[in-house]
């Protein structure tokens, strides 16, 4: 089939130019290669397409009929090439972005909102989930992750921001229960456990001035796999919770939550935009990455 399609394109070019040599110049191949393509096509079809003479070429009846089909095939291929180039070079078509619900609402949508409004030829699909998404299976263009897939040769990771973890609680909770002045005081308190984290009840704290490290295992009776739920539970005084600072920024700014042990630091993370490893990225992906990087750089 592929050879037939190639032969049809060569045949259409020969008829268009009226000669094998003119077609060869257009296609960048030899005249003998053009002649071979036409012979192979005729043998495959079982008909003669061209009358050949030393002075000119002319179409047979079968050739004239076949030429119309060949022109349609070449035209369709050219239209397909144009559409592919448009998707590569223009901000159009589909853009699929995978993120978590928290990052999507608090950061990614604010980062991209103006840009999306300015490019209404883009169809944008947000997949907001806390589970790992296979970028190939789900046809994801950009995934927002807290760690890069450094061992995966299929992807490229683009750092967006350093993200601090914070241990927070509501002011009402802190007034009702024992004071928290040192890491060891945490053992008398309840941690709202977020199951998405590795070892969710184990806290590794570093004293800012001395760099002294302390590991504390807290107790939990409330568990969730959702940051929004964990944040609401903390605001309602059900315990302490460990959050990414960017996820808790609104509550910290409003005073609904306050940082516990501010002189101690939890491990930080890096927020990445992850893309599939391609020789050339479509413009819509490149531009979207630029917008995200600019937003997070300004917010740093």
Question: What is the rounded distance in angstroms from the CA atom of residue 170 to the CA atom of residue 51?
Answer: 90
Confidence grade of residue 280 (pLDDT, cut at 50, 70, 90): confident
Q: Are residues 75 and 9 in the same domain?
A: yes
Kind and range of the H or E run holding 184: none
The last residue of a domain, from among 68, 89, 110 = 89
Q: Are residues 84 and 153 in the same domain?
A: no
Q: Are residues 58 and 192 in the same domain?
A: no
Query: What pLDDT was estimated at residue 216?
Result: 94
Task: Indicate yes or no: pTM above 0.85.
Answer: no
**Residue 269 in 3-state DSSP?**
strand
Question: What CATH number is attached to the domain comprising 106?
Answer: 3.40.190.10
Query: What pLDDT was estimated at residue 148?
Result: 52
Residue corresponding to tokens 């990445």? 272
Query: What pLDDT was estimated at residue 43?
Result: 86
Identify which has the larger pLDDT, 75 or 61. Answer: 61
Range of the domain at 229: 165-267
Q: Are residues 255 and 229 in the same domain?
A: yes
For 25-53, how does the pLDDT look when each residue is reduced to its tens digit (9 = 90+)? 888 888 888 888 888 888 888 888 888 77
Q: Which residues contact 92 (CB under 8 A, 6 or more apart)?
A: 86, 119, 121, 122, 284
Question: What is the rounded distance in angstroms from the CA atom of residue 128 to the CA atom of residue 165?
Answer: 21
Query: What pLDDT was estimated at residue 82?
Result: 58
Q: Are residues 134 and 223 in the same domain?
A: no
Longest Cα–Cα distance of the chain, Å, equals 104
Q: Are residues 84 and 133 in the same domain?
A: no
Distance of CA 184 to the CA centre of its chain: 42
Query: What pLDDT was estimated at residue 282?
Result: 85
Residue corresponding to tokens 């890096």? 270
Q: Return the structure tokens found at 97.
A: 């972005």
For 191-204, how does the pLDDT look when each residue is reduced to its tens digit (9 = 90+)? 999 987 778 889 99
Q: Are residues 241 and 284 in the same domain?
A: no
Listed ranges 19-23, 143-147, 169-173; the one with the highest mean pLDDT: 169-173
Q: Are residues 59 and 116 in the same domain?
A: no
How many domains does the chain contain in total?
3
Question: What CATH number is attached to the domain comprising 201?
Answer: 3.40.190.290
The last residue of a domain, from among 39, 66, 89 = 89
Q: Return the structure tokens found at 19.
A: 């000669």
Q: Is the pLDDT of residue 73 over 90?
A: no
CB-CB contact of 108 with 273 (8 Å): no
């Amino acid at each position: 089939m592929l050879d037939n399609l190639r032969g049809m394109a060569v045949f259409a070019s020969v008829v268009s130019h009226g000669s094998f040599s003119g077609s060869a110049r257009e296609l960048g191949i030899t005249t003998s290669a053009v002649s071979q393509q036409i012979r192979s096509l005729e043998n495959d079809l079982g008909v003669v397409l061209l009358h050949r003479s030393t002075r000119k070429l002319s179409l047979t009846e079968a050739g004239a009929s076949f030429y119309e089909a060949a022109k349609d095939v070449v035209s369709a291929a050219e239209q397909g090439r144009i559409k592919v180039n448009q998707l590569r070079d223009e901000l159009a078509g589909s853009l699929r972005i995978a993120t978590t619900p928290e990052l999507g609402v608090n950061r990614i949508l604010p980062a991209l909102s103006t840009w999306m409004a300015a490019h209404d030829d883009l169809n944008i699909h947000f997949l907001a989930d806390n589970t790992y998404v296979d970028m190939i299976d789900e046809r994801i263009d950009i995934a927002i992750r807290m760690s890069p897939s450094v061992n995966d040769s299929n992807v490229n990771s683009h750092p967006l921001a350093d993200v601090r973890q914070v241990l927070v609680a509501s002011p009402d909770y802190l007034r009702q229960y024992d004071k928290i002045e040192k890491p060891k005081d945490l053992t008398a308190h309840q941690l709202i456990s977020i199951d998405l984290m590795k070892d969710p009840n184990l806290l590794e704290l570093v004293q800012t001035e001395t760099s002294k490290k302390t590991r504390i295992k807290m107790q939990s009776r409330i568990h969730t796999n959702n940051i929004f739920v964990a944040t609401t539970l903390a605001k309602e005084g059900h315990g302490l919770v460990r959050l990414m600072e960017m996820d808790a920024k609104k509550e910290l700014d409003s005073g609904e939550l306050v940082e516990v042990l501010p002189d101690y630091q939890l491990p930080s993370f890096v927020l990445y935009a992850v893309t599939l490893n391609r020789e050339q990225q479509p413009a819509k992906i490149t531009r979207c990455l630029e917008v995200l990087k600019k937003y997070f750089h300004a917010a740093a």
